[in-house]
Structure 1
Amino acid sequence: MPTPVTLWIDDERPMPPGFNAVARTSAEALNLVHEAHDRGYPLQVVSFDHDLGGDDTTRPVMLWMAEHDIWPDEVRVHTANPVGRDWLEGIAARYAPTSTRIVVAPVTGR
């Protein structure tokens, strides 16, 4: 069985223990999610920062998951941005299946 993917999306904070993939941009995150899906690797956890530097955010990743109905077992929202946190949590709560656990746990340090 393929190793489940645990993806940390954040442009500044280091990947914490328990994760096996990191993306610093939304493009990197989308590539990792596409690759995992195409190769049959289950998405176990995707943890979202919101702001990724400049104009980049994780919104395209969340929208792609919603549009393609591809969800991890757990969506974590670790951004310290309250507006971004509400948006990410709202999309996940509305479109993810009830089997997807949604965890909101802001991380304020780097």
Structure 2
Amino acid sequence: MNERSGAGSPVILGIDDLRALPRATQIARTSRDGILLLEEHRNHEIDELWLDHDLGGDDNIMPVVALLEEAAFDGHPFSIGMIFVHSANPSGAETIVRVLRRWGYRVRRTPAQSP
């Protein structure tokens, strides 16, 4: 059973190597830290999840996407109100949107803002 993390405050998580994401309540800067952040919130409702594709160097968001995909495949998807993909990488962003929608997540692509 999913529970809210805070006493009525929205849970807005961001995974982005550069952007400030002022609405986010927590930010991870690498895919590894993004996975840990999601696991911390595994049994809680996440209001918004903001994803960037390219996370610096050879790192990208796909390990996080794989975690979300695997959870849905196992019948226990993360409880996320909306996933926003804000990457400046058009093909990467479309891949994220396509994969996550396939597994029933609500996903919206939004323009990337400069860091």
Q: TM-score range by the shorter chain?
A: 0.7 to 0.9
Specify every segment of 5 or more residues in structure 2 that has no aligned partner in the other structure, as ranges. none
Q: Which residue of 1 aligns with 2:29?
A: 24
Residues 27-79 of structure 1 show CA distances to partners (whole Å, capped at 9, x for unaligned) of 11100101111xx3212211110000111001110111111122311111000
Q: Which residue identity is paired with 1:46?
A: L
Output the aligned Cα RMSD. 1.4
Checking the alignment, whether the CA contact within 8 Å between 1:5 and 1:41 is kept in structure 2 is: no
Match for residue 84 of structure 2 among 76, 84, 103 = 76
Checking the alignment, whether the CA contact within 8 Å between 1:25 and 1:52 is kept in structure 2 is: yes
Specify every segment of 5 or more residues in structure 1 that has no aligned partner in the other structure, as ranges. none
Q: Which residue identity is paired with 2:17?
A: D
Q: Using the alignment, how far apart are the partners of 2:83 and 2:96 within structure 1?
A: 9
Between Structure 1 and Structure 2, the one with more helix by share is 1
- How many percent of aligned residue pairs carry the same amino acid? 33
Q: 4+ residue stretches of structure 1 with deviation over 3 A?
A: none
SS at match of 1:73: strand
With normalisation by structure 1, the TM-score equals 0.86
| 1:1-110 map, 5 Å | 1-3=4-6, 4-17=10-23, 19-37=24-42, 40-69=43-72, 70-71=77-78, 72-95=80-103, 97=104, 100-110=105-115
